[in-house]
Amino acid sequence: MEVQPHFYREEINSTMWEVPEKYTRLKQIGTGAYGSVCSAINDKTKEKVAIKKLHRPFQSEIFAKRAYRELRLLKHMKHENVIGLLDVFTPVTSLDDFQDFYLVMPYMYTDLSKVRGHLSEDKVQFLVYQMLCGLRVSNHHSPGNLAVNQDCELKILDFGLARSTDAEMTGYVVTRWYRAPEVILNWMHYTQTGKTITAVNILLYMLTPYMDQLTQIMKVTGVPGPEFVQKLDTPEAKSYIKGLPRYPRKDFSTLFPRVSAKCIDLLEKMLVLDGDERPTAELALEHPYFDTLRDPDDLPEPTPYDDSHDNATMSLDEWKRLCFREVKSFVPFPRRDSKRKNTLTMSP
């Protein structure tokens, strides 16, 4: 097996890593069913990065397809509020030897769900603004996690398990506390407005951490009427809604007495159970609540994502060939210096 020059090998927690010499001080910071992540320092740029090594990406067609989807999505995402690739590499030079590849991404300080303590409204405003900016350009894919840096910069993470926003939006994704009601109830098609309620659920979570379940949301919005129930696809969802106590809609200004009037107005517009009545991320960003933050540079036109392979059936060798081609064709995207005047800080 021919290994590229200027690479070195290091065993970390029983896993062998083969990385370019410029990445030093590797330290494992996470592991899961599909891969391990190490922090590292890029000695050329002095930047701290996160490097992900997928666990045996070519052990089956399913694993290979998943690896290809993650690689393609990360290469496609080019926005400062969506995680993207700084680098991607494999230690080998030929397709015949190709067994592993590594994804290099910005290092993020902590997961948003781990942030503790009261968040001031200016922090909440800035985080939700970034969230909506990232959701706006994420095309038709659902994010997995949200991460923040110490300076309150937010990125949407984990598109490896992202699905086309259609009937596949079940199982793994519905377990997350910030999912849209239509995903939790498995009714109608997940649309662009489903992203909006993802953001507003997180906004509610940051304002009142107990707001983490569909029933709790309906205690605020009120239980929907028969027109909403008719839109539900499954008898179980209809029965669930019909069996709920008749919660009346609450006055948001009473629930959140320390929150600005503009924030209350945004909440009332976004926290709507019927996705047909809910604004998209793009429309939500036009709300006066974000007037002091809105910057045209944050709102580039979303570029179409080629999902022609998402439903393809191919052999393991074909998936491996596609991955190898994507790794070798990677070109770093020039990153824009942020013009945001941000003085906020975040503590876990």
Count CB neighbours of 301 within 10 A.
7
**Cβ atoms of residues 200 and 233 within 8 Å:** no
Which pair of tokens denotes residue 334? 């020039």
Please tell me whether 53 is known to bind a ligand: yes
DSSP 125-184: HHHHHHHHHHHHHSTTB---EEEE-TT--EEEE--TT--BSSTT--GGGGGSTT--HHHH
Closest CA to 157 of 216, 94, 224, 106: 106
Count CB neighbours of 308 within 10 A.
7
CA dihedral sign of residues 13, 18, 19, 24: positive
CA 320, CA 12: separation in Å to the nearest integer?
A: 25
Helix (H, G, I), strand (E, B) or coil at 49: strand
HSE at residue 310, side-chain half, CA atoms within 13 A, is 17
DSSP 8-state symbol, 7:
E
What residues contact residue 112 under an 8 Å CB cut-off, 6+ apart? 127, 145, 146, 147, 148, 154, 202
- Encoded amino acid at 22, one letter: K
Query: Strand pairing of 102-106 and 110-111?
Result: unpaired
CA 298, CA 203: separation in Å to the nearest integer?
A: 20
Which pair of tokens denotes residue 217? 């949301």
Residues comprising the binding site for ATP? 53
Binding residues: 53
